[in-house]
Copies of this chain bind each other. A is one copy, B any other.
Amino acid sequence: MAKYKEVANEIRKRIKSGIYHSEEKIPDQESLAKEFGTSRVTVKKALDLLSVAGLVYTIQGSGTYVKKNAVNLAEQSIKIGQNVGLTAAAGERLELKTEVLDFNVRFPDEEECNQLSITKEEPVYDIKRLRILDEKPYSLEHTIIPIALAPNITKEILNRSLYDYLQGDLGIVFGDNRQTVRAVKPDDNDKKYLHCSNEDPVLEVSKVMFLERGTPLEYSVVHHRYDMVEMSFINVSREGLLG
């Protein structure tokens, strides 16, 4: 592991364990460099990581300080854009199941061509799955994937884990993703599979997942039951980025 990451982890450990208190100024970069037997540039790089992680802030000419909410952030460590509704709602063991409702191959429609940057002649998988938690259905996933990018998907794979197959077996590395969240009225499928009444709202999340190189891999629209899923995310302020 790179030295600046080691230094960052050590300092993070000290913050979490209270050796560096909340709101307190931590030693200056020169001292830290001497303590860790490294150069100041390396210490600076470590502190930058912690700054992006929201644990510390620096004031030029004054010093580096532990943020008031640093411990909270360090503990919850919510990944940006990740669904936390489920894990939060479920304290104990719970039974997660997936039911494959539909698994087809076809040509993409206009919206899908647009989202996935493909032509109308490049076939895609069309996958509909129902997610079930402790016998209660909580979300309905509609996933579109170009066949060329993820060949040989089978129903058996979908019953296990699609992401495990893509990452593990195919060795695909995910990159960025873009999501849009809306509240919508339930459609027929929501009523049928999620047991939504006419008055039950639905949390709709559209997502495009990109590969490391920027190629769109997957376009999905997921409908969540309003009373079982929420989405949380943390926006870290970044001043130093571009102009």
Closest to A201 in B: B201
Q: Flag whether A108 is at the interface (Cβ < 8 A).
A: no
How far, in angstroms, from A230 to B12 measured CA to CA in the complex?
Answer: 36
Given known pairs A23-B213, A213-B68, the reply for A202 and B199 (CB within 8 Å) is: no
How many residues of A are counted as interface, with CB atoms below 8 angstroms from the partner's CB atoms? 58
Copies of this chain per assembly: 2
Q: Flag whether A128 is at the interface (Cβ < 8 A).
A: no
Q: Flag whether A177 is at the interface (Cβ < 8 A).
A: yes
Most buried by B among A5, A182, A215: A182
Q: Flag whether A107 is at the interface (Cβ < 8 A).
A: no
Q: Apart from A177-B237, A181-B181, A183-B202, what 12 extra A-B contacts exist at CB < 8 Å?
A: A57-B175, A57-B214, A67-B175, A80-B233, A174-B237, A178-B234, A180-B230, A182-B226, A183-B184, A183-B203, A183-B226, A185-B226
